[in-house]
Amino acid sequence: MADEKKMTLEEVNQYMQEKCGFVPRMFKIINTVTPEPGRTFADFYASIFGDGALSKSVKELMFMSGGVAYCSPRCIIHVVPAINAGATSEQVFEAASVGMILAGFVPNGPGIPYAFEYALKCIDIDAKFRKGEEWEYLPTTKFDHGVY
């Protein structure tokens, strides 16, 4: 990659959007300093989440479901690339439901009642994203520098 043109912030964010379906929050910061990690991460992400034996939308729903099961506010963002890859609202609901049940079987995990809130948040994000409305998948960090 030494002879490749260095990407600008806008170019790397667009590249990540195309490869990942979103720009992860941490890369909205990292990309302002240097674009190379963003490009590298996007290529890695696309190699894992691209269509294969399982479709991209199924892989994104699996990741979102795991985020529900572990009550990970940063993992449920995968509802957005799942939608962008063709997932329906019904599929988001079912995957979120599976994650909610899985939470009851995670050793020392959060349990179903807590994961229920994350499942509801996935459904909320789905509805707002499809309407083009603003949504937030987790509270803004106290280190907000206004670039999110």
pLDDT in tens, 30-67: 999 999 999 999 999 999 999 999 999 999 999 999 99
From 7-11, 96-100, 101-105, 133-137, the region with the lowest mean pLDDT? 133-137
pLDDT at 148 over 70: no
Res 1: pLDDT: 46
In this model, does residue 3 exceed pLDDT 50?
Answer: no
| Separation between Cα atoms, residue 130 and residue 88, nearest integer Å | 10
Distance CA 125, CA 123 (A): 6
- Contact predicate 82/137, CB 8 Å: no
Collect all residues with Cβ–Cβ distance below 8 Å to 137 and sequence separation of at least 6: 73, 74, 76, 77, 79, 121, 125
Q: Give the mean model confidence (pLDDT) for residues 103-122.
A: 92
Quote the DSSP letter at residue 142: T
- pLDDT at position 144: 47
Residue-wise pLDDT for 11-20, tens only, equals 999 999 999 9
